[in-house]
Structure formats: C-alpha cells, structure tokens
Chain A
C-alpha cells in the first residue's frame, strides 16, 4: 500500500504491516474524537515511525496516488481539523 507522509514523500508498505497501521490509525482517530492533543501527537508520531520502519521510499519518478496520507511532523490536531474542514487549504 502506498502511504504519503506530508513533507517527506511516499512509501510503499508491504501487506503484512497493514494491520499495525490500521491499529495506529484507529488510535489517531479516537484521540482526534476525544480532542486529546497529547494522544493525537503520540499516535501521529507512532504512525510516522511505523511507516519509516516498514516502508520503502517510492521512486521519485513514480506517478501514483496514496491510499493513506499522514500529517507532517509538528502538525497539531487543530491544523489537521482545519485541513479536513477546508479542501481549499491544499494548493496545487
């Protein structure tokens, strides 16, 4: 599965690690719903770590859309909310 970390590019994750990503994704989701900034930051970082650990960088000249997009490092819960609330924020 192709996953993008904003600001870092795309990674290809082998199928056997998707369960781990799903688990962390669910943790991120519940942290966001609870408005728990600390838990959100921790889950977000754990996701990026997992992608770095298991993923292989996608070649720069590959043209492929990502199935999952992870927030960049230092992205707050509010910033992610703003992003989801307004598609106009994304340039390009």
Chain B
C-alpha cells in the first residue's frame, strides 16, 4: 500500500478502535465530543503559548538593535578620542550583535508561520466540532440501528482525523517554541554577562564605555595638570620631577595616556 494510503489509514485507527470497542456506537458520539472539546482547549492554549514566545523574541530583537546602535556610537566616540582599539572592539561586538539579530528574525518569522497555521487549524477544528455536535444530536434523535453505525462511523472518523492533524500541528509548533525558548534563554544570559551589551541595564554602562570615559577623564586630568604647571613660576618646579624625566613637557603630558592593549 502506498505511503499516502497508509498515512490515511493510520489516522483512522483510533476512531475505528473506539467504534469497535463500544457496545452501542452512540456511546462513541458523546465520548468523542468530550475529547474534541478538550482538544480545542489544548490547541487554543498552544496558540497562546506560541504567541507569547514570539513576542519574547521580538523584544530581544529590539534590545539587540538598541545595543548595536549604542556600539556604533561608542565606536565613533572612541575614534574621536583616538582610541582605534576600542572602536575596533565596539564594531566587532556590533557585528556579533547584528548576526544574532538576523538569526532571531529568521526564527521569529518561522514561528509566526507556525502560529498562523495553528490558528487556521484551530478554526477548522472549531467548525468541525460544531458540525459534529449537530450531527450527533440528529443521529441520536433519528436513531435506527440500520443506518446509525455508518453515519456514526463517518462522523467520528472524519473528526478524529482532524484532531490528529491539529494535534500534530500543535506538536510541531511546540517543538519550535521550545527550541526558541532555549535559545532566547541562552541569549538572555549572554546579554546579562555584558558580552553582547545590554543597553537596558539600569546604569547603561559597560566596559567599553568605562574605558572610553577613563580615557577622556585621564586626558582631562593631564590637561589640567599641564595648565596648572604652566601657571607655576619656573623656579617652583620640584627638582625631583625634572630629574626623573628630563624630557617631560606639558604638551606630552596632555596627550592621552598609553593603555595596555587588552
């Protein structure tokens, strides 16, 4: 038998089993209806879970884009103070952040597609459950042993297949959601560690910014020192300073301090 026929048969197994086991096929109608209502509830929760997960990813993308923008301006600031090493580091991190953004956006799109499929599947199931309820009441009201079995079997196998399909769609969506949640969790940790920079940290500080500030502040201190020295009478200069560094000039002191390359 072909794969497609075997798959179709597979979806009928459960319904057939239930029908075979029931002494009166009408029992299956009520039993199946209860299961349908449960399935509808489960699927609706599933859609809500997928939506929550997707929103979390969107939030992370926003955060990362803020970080990328911040790293860009840090690079500009660093170049402005002659710190090409810091600018390079900021831009390296920025490209790592942007690659994460790209990945997340891809995943977000695929989760959105799952969400749409699951929503459509939920609507189909809802319509079928409603049709089943009507059919169930009609069958019960006009019950004659001769026709009931066929009609019940039709209705039950028809909806059972839909439930199987929706159940599988939900499983797929949940698997994707779990993968995404794992990834989002790992990324949250990475952001918290400062490796990708989190622009939403309370103080909005990070090590690149701290070093930039230190470089600028260091420059200010040296400039101020030089200015004060220049105002002092030449004789007042302590001999020890000149002895330690004979070539020391105020202009040289005003230059940004050397920093150990990290």
Contacts and interface: CB of A to CB of B under 8 A. Distances in A.
A92 B157 CA distance: 11
B8 A4 contact: yes
B123 A69 contact: no
Given A65-B161, A92-B39, A7 B3 contact: no
B2 A63 contact: no
A6 B2 CA distance: 16
A34 interface: no
B109 to A, nearest CB: 14
Interface string B159-199: 11111111111111000000000000000000000000000
B131 A4 contact: no
A62 B160 contact: no
Contacts of B131: 61-63
- Chain B interface secondary structure, helix, strand, loop or mixed? helix
A43 B144 CA distance: 46
Given A6-B168, A25-B3, A63 B121 contact: no
A85 to B, nearest CB: 10
Contacts of B161: 4, 65-66, 69
B13 A63 contact: no
Contacts of B130: 61
Nearest to B126: A60
A56 to B, nearest CB: 15
Interface in A11-48: 25-26, 28-29, 32, 47
A63 B132 contact: yes
Interface of A: 3-4, 6-9, 25-26, 28-29, 32, 47, 59-72, 80, 83-84, 87, 89-92
Given A67-B8, A92-B162, 19 more contacts: A4-B8, A4-B11, A6-B165, A7-B121, A7-B169, A28-B3, A32-B3, A47-B4, A60-B123, A63-B128, A63-B131, A63-B135, A63-B155, A65-B8, A65-B161, A72-B169, A89-B168, A91-B163, A92-B166
